[in-house]
């Protein structure tokens, strides 16, 4: 996950490859609750791991459910409709699929509970559900604002004799909540009447479908009234299916379907393949496929996968503008708003009033951010009209606010295919954790940028200047990859010595360097499967590295390996010739120095802490000797690149140095 203040996505050029989707949020949270209410154990496979499922799991555990997790499989020990814990304070984050159904289930089961969430959850309506539950005799108080969480539940006197009414025009989750909770008390038939238009109907289909899997057969009238009346038959009782698989998330699929529709194919690929969801899906958002086809996407579907490619010029590319009622795909339709940027006219998305009461006011948010990119947007109470920038030169870029809304962040990543080749900055990218924590990793795995567009920040400097720590911290703060090029020389020397090759044998060491099976994981360095981090970071390891790095053959052998680290979304590389030789086109080059005295003091501290005894004077002499050798060597001598910025960190903390580098970096960006 990108836990950074912002994520800059370079202009993307092509896409291709396979994406395995994380589990569906809507199915995961329903299945968890249904399993918890059933008797016996349910093994849930391919469960989504995200913020929304985490709050549900935590709540269930606090209510006395046993949960055993192993990777993406969870075994839920059901409560059999009886609460072990009748008093609890539960935090629901911003998960509508946890807040609403748990409110209904706990209100009916009886007990003293408080349910709250993030500040936005306290602005998301729940009044229609509370009104319905009060008709049943449930005792529910608003702790804050009338009609909104947080809520206090108390034991009430249930009355099940009359049909209950629930409004369906603000959120379908209120009806879903009742449908999932009422089987707990169905000693007689219980009838639910929907008042007004029911929105987001396919989510009710998911609910009915899963209820069936847990033994509850909800009855509905045939014909026009089939969405108005739902009856839970007397004697309904939850029965665990034993095992259940969660499909991939169809709403999450929409970003990759859109990707396939707008991106040129990567070399050797001709499509994006999505695994985990397909034509057999029980999720309504699978119908996003139809909308994407209308816009020009070429999509083949099989029961559990999709294959998408961009239409040919004039036949699907540019995309065709559409005018669509999106009530049945409220979440995935946001993706259409960004596809509209690549369309040949004005796209209108209608019947989306519910967007205003979700993670943020999504109509306002999409309108505001699309306009920042140069689109013309008309916003109505329940619609959006989007006209793309007229020409390449009309595209703009600006930091995109994501409003703690996972879908805003995921949607706008697709703006990186803009024809003006502008990078896109997303603020607070970690908000994707609500439903798809590794979204950006998945995106970067199937997208390509032209190499020159992938930014590199070079941090060169003499030994013990702190360039490794500075580069690593800068990389972490930007969400970029990190290349410790010095480690490559250390590992080459280490591997050569292991193989009995003399460090003076330039060709021999180069041969080893060329096929070096080196891997970095955080601050650990692996040679094949062996963690060699400690072994290579000794003083002797440094001397050996300095020796082999003087061989032009070895430097040449490591060049391709180093270039390979230039990957999306960017790279911070530290070494001695990053800015001069390896990445001469880097948009920011730092030459980091500190006085020999300061460097010697730092190194002394390090060595003392490792239990080595030596003196500062001795270390300073060694450093100066090494500087002289590195600066005077004929190949790639240590020197600042002509366009490097000098940073003397003698009196700076590592954070202050990183602030300076990031400040300079911001200055090179177009935002």
Ligand X SMILES: O=C(O)C1=C[C@@H](OP(=O)(O)O)[C@@H](O)[C@H](O)C1
Ligand Y SMILES: C=C(OP(=O)(O)O)C(=O)O
Q: Which of 69, 134, 61 is CA-nearest to residue 98?
A: 61
Q: Which is nearer to ligand X, 276 or 330 (CB)?
A: 330
Of 136 and 175, CB closest to ligand Y: 175
Nearer to ligand Y, 317 or 355 (CB): 355
The 294-333 site mask, x for binding ligand Y (CB under 6 A), equals: -------------------------------------x--
Check residue 171 for interaction with ligand X (CB under 6 A): yes
Neighbouring CB atoms inside 10 A of 428's CB total 20
Could you give the CA distance from residue 144 to residue 130 in angstroms, rounded to a whole number? 14
12 to 41, contacts with ligand X by CB under 6 A?
26
Q: Report the site for ligand X in 487-526 (rule: CB under 6 A).
A: none
Provide the greatest CA pair distance for the chain.
Answer: 93
Interface with ligand Y: number of residues (CB under 6 A):
9
- Could you say which residues in the range 409-438 bind ligand Y, by CB under 6 A? 435
Interface residue with ligand X among 34, 108, 199, 324 (CB under 6 A) is 199
Contact status, residue 514 vs residue 471, Cβ threshold 8 Å: no
Q: Which is nearer to ligand X, 4 or 283 (CB)?
A: 283
- Who's near 230: CB < 8 A, 6+ residues apart? 175, 179, 191, 192, 194, 218, 219, 220
- Quick check: 508 and 502 in contact, CB under 8 A? yes
Query: How many other C-beta atoms lie within 10 A of the C-beta of residue 142?
Result: 15
Pairwise CA distance, residues 11 & 15, whole Å: 12
Site string for ligand Y, 625-654 (x = CB under 6 A): ------------------------------
Helix (H, G, I), strand (E, B) or coil at 498: helix
Q: How far apart are CA 585 and CA 582, in angstroms?
A: 9
Q: State how far the alpha carbon of 526 is from the alpha carbons of 513, 519, 521, 536, in Å.
A: 14, 5, 8, 10
Nearer to ligand Y, 59 or 516 (CB): 59
Q: Is 538 helix (H, G, I), strand (E, B) or coil?
A: coil
Q: Which is nearer to ligand X, 172 or 298 (CB)?
A: 172
172 binds ligand X (CB under 6 A): yes
Clarify whether 331 is annotated catalytic. yes
Binding mask 65-104 for ligand X (x = CB under 6 A): -------------------------------xx-------
- Give me 20's structure tokens: 């395995």
Instruction: Name which of 456, 439, 526, 448 is nearest 487 in CA terms.
Output: 526
Least separation, in Å, of the C-beta of 435 and ligand Y?
6
Among 10, 96, 260, 569, indicate the residue that binds ligand Y (CB under 6 A). Answer: 96
Question: Which of 247, 249, 273, 331 is close enough to bind ligand X by CB under 6 A?
Answer: 331
116 binds ligand Y (CB under 6 A): no
Decide: is 95 part of the binding site for ligand Y (CB under 6 A): yes
Q: Quick check: 97 binds ligand Y (CB under 6 A)?
A: yes
Distance CA(401)–CA(361), nearest Å, equals 13
From 46, 331, 405, 577, the catalytic residue: 331
For the chain, give the number of residues: 671
Residue 10 CA to residue 448 CA, distance in Å, equals 10
Give the Å distances, CA to CA, from 664 to 64, 133, 154, 660.
53, 57, 57, 6
Q: Which of 28, 38, 94, 173 binds ligand X (CB under 6 A)?
A: 173
176 binds, among ligand Y, ligand X, none (CB under 5 to 8 A by kind): ligand X
Binding positions for ligand X, rule: CB under 6 A:
26, 96-97, 171-173, 176, 199-200, 203, 330-331, 354
Binding positions for ligand Y, rule: CB under 6 A:
94-97, 331, 358-359, 407, 435
Question: What residues form the annotated binding site for phosphoenolpyruvate?
Answer: 25, 96, 124, 173, 362, 407, 434
Catalytic residue IDs: 331
């Amino acid at each position: 996950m990108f836990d950074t203040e912002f994520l800059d996505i370079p202009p993307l050029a092509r896409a291709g490859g396979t994406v395995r989707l994380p589990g569906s949020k809507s199915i995961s949270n329903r299945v968890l609750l249904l399993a918890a209410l059933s008797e016996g154990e349910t093994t849930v496979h391919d469960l989504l791991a995200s913020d929304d499922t985490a709050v549900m799991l935590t709540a269930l555990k606090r209510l006395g459910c046993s949960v055993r997790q192993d990777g993406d499989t969870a075994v839920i020990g059901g409560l059999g409709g009886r609460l072990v814990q009748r008093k609890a304070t539960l935090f629901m984050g911003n998960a509508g699929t946890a807040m609403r159904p748990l409110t209904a289930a706990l209100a009916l089961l009886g007990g003293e509970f408080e349910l709250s969430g993030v500040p936005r959850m306290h602005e998301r309506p729940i009044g229609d559900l509370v009104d319905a539950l009060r008709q049943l005799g449930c005792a529910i108080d608003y702790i804050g604002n009338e009609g909104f969480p947080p809520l206090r539940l108390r034991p009430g006197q249930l009355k099940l004799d009359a049909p209950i009414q629930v409004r369906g025009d603000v959120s379908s989750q209120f009806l879903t909540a009742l449908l999932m909770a009422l089987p707990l008390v169905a000693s007689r038939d219980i009838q639910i009447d929907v008042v007004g238009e029911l929105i987001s109907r396919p989510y009710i289909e998911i609910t009915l479908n899963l209820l069936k899997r847990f033994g509850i057969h909800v009855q509905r009238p045939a014909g026009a009234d089939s969405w108005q009346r739902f009856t839970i038959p007397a004697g309904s009782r939850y029965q665990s299916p034993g095992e259940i698989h969660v499909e991939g998330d169809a709403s999450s699929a929409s970003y990759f379907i859109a990707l396939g529709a707008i991106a040129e194919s990567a070399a050797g690929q001709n499509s994006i393949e999505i695994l985990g969801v397909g034509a057999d899906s029980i999720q309504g958002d699978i119908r996003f496929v139809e909308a994407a086809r209308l816009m020009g996407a070429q999509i083949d579907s099989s029961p559990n996968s999709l294959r998408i490619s961009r239409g040919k010029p004039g036949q699907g590319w540019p995309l065709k503008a559409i005018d669509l009622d999106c009530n049945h795909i409220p979440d995935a339709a946001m993706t259409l708003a960004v596809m509209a940027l690549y369309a040949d006219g004005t796209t209108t998305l209608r019947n989306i009033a519910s967007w205003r009461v979700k993670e943020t006011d999504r109509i306002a948010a999409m309108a505001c951010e699309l306009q920042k990119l140069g689109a013309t947007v008309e916003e109505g109470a329940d619609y959006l009209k989007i006209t793309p920038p007229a020409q390449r030169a009309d595209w703009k870029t600006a930091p995109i606010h994501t409003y703690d809304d996972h879908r805003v962040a995921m949607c706008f990543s697709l703006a990186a295919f803009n024809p003006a080749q502008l990078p896109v900055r997303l603020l607070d990218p970690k908000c994707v954790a609500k439903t798809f924590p590794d979204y950006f990793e998945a995106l970067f795995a199937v997208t390509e940028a032209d190499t020159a567009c992938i930014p590199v920040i070079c941090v060169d400097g003499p030994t013990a200047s702190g360039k490794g720590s500075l580069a690593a911290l800068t990389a972490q703060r930007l969400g970029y990859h990190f290349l410790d090029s010095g480690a490559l020389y250390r590992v080459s020397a280490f591997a050569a010595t292991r193989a009995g090759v003399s460090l003076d044998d330039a060709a021999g060491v180069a041969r080893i360097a060329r096929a070096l099976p080196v891997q970095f994981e955080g601050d650990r360095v692996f040679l094949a499967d062996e963690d060699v981090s400690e072994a290579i970071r000794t003083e002797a390891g440094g001397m050996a590295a300095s020796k082999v790095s003087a061989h032009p053959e070895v430097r040449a052998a490591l060049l391709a390996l180093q270039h390979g680290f230039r990957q999306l979304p960017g790279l911070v590389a530290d070494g001695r010739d990053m800015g001069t030789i390896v990445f001469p086109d880097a948009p920011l080059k730092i030459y980091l120095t500190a006085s020999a005295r300061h460097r010697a003091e730092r190194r002394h501290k390090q060595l003392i802490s490792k239990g080595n005894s030596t003196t500062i004077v001795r270390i300073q002499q060694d450093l100066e000797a090494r500087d002289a050798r590195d600066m005077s060597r004929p190949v790639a001598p240590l020197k600042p690149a002509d366009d490097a910025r000098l940073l003397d960190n003698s009196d700076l903390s590592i954070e202050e140095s990183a602030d300076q580098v990031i400040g300079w970096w911001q200055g090179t960006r177009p935002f």
